[in-house]
């Protein structure tokens, strides 16, 4: 899973919070042949709206077309393209790793290096929770796989633009 890199577009789409809006967005991507790498939907602080964060394939269509076609959906309010270099991205991963008591220590150590937590412990399995930029989750996934990954889920990324620090005291 390669979810980072320049061949992707990161779109933050503000939509009306109504039945069927996600289906409209998804079917637009399908119908126009745009590939989606990940998609996350969540309510916003204003209950009338939701935010969809989409990571789209830059090879399948020019970003400009994707944005313009999305804008034609009546329920789409605003689209921001987030430059990966200029935004804060996060993704959440839950992962159940095989680790008998002799291996537990190693796994816990690894996970803590990534700032993650152990959220469930079984006989010979651990479930870990980590949130980070997607590429770091890729790394952790690689490092955990020799132990044996029993189950894993990732949410797809969400993102916000970096804040402007150049703002003007005394300017």
Partner 1 sequence: MSEQPVRMSGAQALVKSLELEGVEVIFGLPGGAILPVYDPILDSPIRHILVRHEQGAGHMAEGYAHATGRPGVAMVTSGPAATNIVTPLCDAFVDSVPMVVITGQVPVGAIGTDAFQECDTIGITRSVTKHNELVTRARDIPLAVRQAFLLASTGRPGPVLLDIPKDIVDAANPDAQMEWYWPTDEEVWASLPGYRPTTKGHPRKIKEAAELIMAARQPVIYAGGGILKARAATVLRELAELTGIPVVTTLTARGAFPDDHPLALGMPGMHGNFTAVTAMQESDLLIALGSRFDDRVTGKLPAFAPDAKVIHVDIDPAELGKVRRPDVPIVGDVRLVLEELVRVLERRVADGQPDRSAWRQTLSGWQERFPLHYEPSEPGALLKPQFVLEQLRDRAPEGTIVATGVGQHQMWTSQYWRFTEPYTWVCSGGLGTMGFSIPAAIGAKAGMPERTVWAVDGDGCFQMTAQELVTATTERIPIKVAILNNAYLGMVRQWQEMFYDERYSEVYLSPDLPDYVKWAEAMGCVAIRVESPEEVGPAIERANAINDRPVVVEFRTDAAEKVFPMVPAGLSNSDIVVGPLPEGTVQ
Binding residues for partner 1, rule: CB under 8 A, are 15-16, 19-20, 23-24, 27-28, 31, 64-65, 68-69, 71-77
Report phi then psi at 126, rounded to 5.
-130, 145
Going by C-alpha positions, the residue among 85, 87, 118, 90 that lies closest to residue 104 is 118
For the CB of residue 5, give the shortest distance to partner 1 in the complex, in Å.
25
Query: From the centroid of its chain, how far is CA 41?
Result: 10
Rounded least distance, CB 84 to partner 1, Å: 23
Which residues of the chain form beta strands (DSSP E)?
8-16, 36-43, 49-57, 76-82, 87-98, 117-121, 125-132, 149-154, 158-161
Please, which residue, 28 or 160, has the CB nearer to partner 1? 28
- To partner 1, the closest distance from the beta carbon of 87 in angstroms equals 23
Distance in Å, CB of 17 to partner 1, minimum = 11
* Closer by beta carbon to partner 1, 78 or else 117: 78
Q: Which is nearer to partner 1, 32 or 117 (CB)?
A: 32
Rounded to 10°, the helix 21-31/63-71 angle is: 140
Cβ proximity to partner 1: between 13 and 93 the closer is 13
């Amino acid at each position: 899973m390669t979810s980072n890199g320049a061949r992707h577009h990161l779109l933050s789409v503000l939509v009306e919070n109504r039945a069927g809006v996600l289906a409209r967005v998804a079917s637009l991507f399908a119908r126009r042949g745009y590939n989606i790498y990940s998609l996350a939907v969540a309510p916003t602080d204003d209950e009338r709206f939701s935010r969809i964060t989409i990571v789209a394939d830059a090879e399948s269509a020019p970003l400009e077309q994707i944005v313009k076609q999305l804008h034609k959906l009546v329920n789409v309010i605003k689209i921001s393209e987030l430059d990966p270099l200029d935004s804060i991205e996060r993704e959440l991963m839950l992962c159940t790793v095989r680790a008998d008591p002799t291996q537990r220590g190693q796994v816990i150590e690894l996970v803590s290096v990534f700032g993650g937590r152990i959220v469930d412990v079984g006989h010979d399995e651990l479930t870990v929770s980590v949130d980070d930029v997607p590429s770091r989750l890729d790394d952790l996934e690689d490092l955990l796989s020799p132990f044996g990954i029993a189950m894993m889920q990732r949410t797809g990324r969400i993102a916000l633009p970096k804040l402007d620090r150049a703002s003007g005291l005394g300017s």
